[in-house]
Amino acid sequence: MYVQQIYTGCLAQAAYYIESEGEAAIIDPLRDIQAYIDIAKARNAQIKYILETHFHADFVSGHIDLVKKTGAKVIYGPKAKAGYDIISADDGRVFTLGKVKIELMHTPGHTVESSCFLVKDENGNATSLFSGDTLFVGEVGRVDLAARQDLTKEELASMLYDSLEKLKKLPDSVIVYPGHGAGSACGKNIGKEATTTIGEQRKNNYALQPMSREAFVKIITEGLETPPQYFFTDAVINRNGYKDNMETLLDKNVHAIEVAEFKKSVDSNAVILDTRNADDFAKEHIPGAINIGLSGQFAIWVGSLFADVPFLLICDEGKESESVMRLARVGYDKVLGYLKGGVNAWKAAGNKTLSIESVSAIEFVKHIGNGSKLIDVRNEGEVTNGTIKDAINIPLASLPKKLTELDKSTHYYVYCQGGYRSMIANSILQKNGFTNITNVIGGMGAIAKTGIKLEVPLEV
């Protein structure tokens, strides 16, 4: 059997192509499906199945378009009900792919329909598990995303307890291919490794250690940060289906706008989204623009900070299609277009630009205690590993709701872990009237190297 992981760092998401004897299956595909079709074509294989581990909340899946292109069957676990044709398979149902068998293992907890796909070789030996959002490296799927009035996160956690007991019975040698890696909001603290084994997780994953059901429910439901607001929208889209495929969206949304038209669109309350890197944004940008660069987890942060609003894009030349595509991956289809000629065209038309002051970590440390305040926009879990005395912790996703608690007359230094999120934060602050702000280049990663004493807060 041939296995290829297709990892998308922007979403910390892993899709999979598996193949045996010219028959292929795609597991948890993204909306931009061409990569999967290209792999199958290059290997002279036919895509037979599209295996969905659950109704995803963190991206729009490409199963509907893959069906149109390939005629493959879409398979979900028990209790899955969709607005399009699917096979809702019972626990234990087996699907044949060339010489191998794929057994659906119903593993509810992350969602009620969540399932893993266990691959067995021609001799019936279990070799690999595609675990979706049930089991990650060092972590398990969060249990609050599918919670609703008739099903609490505690009830989902109890389901997950039973599901993990089922997985723990698999041989230690079974390779685990998880649905997400480090940085995904689908788990609390997912490890960075691309794959693992059942044996490694049985030994090292806290959630697989012997404990009572009550203890498990308590530990799994604690420390869950607020999920990005687009999660619940995407889950509905994946359950009901969507209208436009990726090609249609690119044709419609990769649209050049002249400066005059761009200014009129700004007046209509569209969000100006600058997808350039943080350094270029800091030097010069259009007033009111929010910087979320393509160099980081772009789609996750757009979805965490904005509802389904219209966007106007500022892009590096040649990055317009990528910006639109990465928004579409998370269901953000309302793109009015991009500014033709970018910031240079804006200036040439006589319009002003703004900048954001940035300093090195060394310079920042020299000025601590000069009356300025510090804003740490890392997540709570990151802050517990060490922070600067008296720094204010406001996780980036919470910043828009916390602006009224800050003083516009105060000077703030803003930092994160590496510098990506702090520039997003600075752009939000500046748009909302904070002019006395400074970005710390390199964030805590650079600050820690200066030798400054860090402290672990008793309470965040």
Active site residues: 416
User: Which DSSP category does 457 fall into?
Assistant: -
Structure tokens at 23: 């028959």
Residue type for 392, please?
Answer: I
* Spatial CA neighbour of 420 closest among 298, 330, 288, 317: 298
* Spatial CA neighbour of 129 closest among 93, 163, 99, 103: 103
- Per the document, the length of the chain is 460
Bridge partners (DSSP) of residue 106 are 115
Distances (CA, A) of 88 to 53, 61, 100, 108, 110: 11, 17, 21, 14, 17
Structure tokens at 97: 């792919």
Strands laid side by side in the 412-415 sheet? 357-359, 437-440, 412-415, 373-376, 392-393
Q: How many CA atoms lie within 13 A of 39 on its CB side?
A: 19
Contacts of 137 (CB under 8 A, 6+ apart): 176, 178, 181, 190, 191, 192, 193, 195, 196, 201, 205
* Spatial CA neighbour of 75 closest among 117, 120, 16, 40: 117
Structure tokens at 367: 């000025």
Q: How many CA atoms lie within 13 A of 438 on its CB side?
A: 17
Dihedrals phi, psi of 444, to nearest 5 degrees: -65, -30
Residue 74 backbone class (left: φ over 0; alpha: ψ -120 to 50; beta: rest):
beta
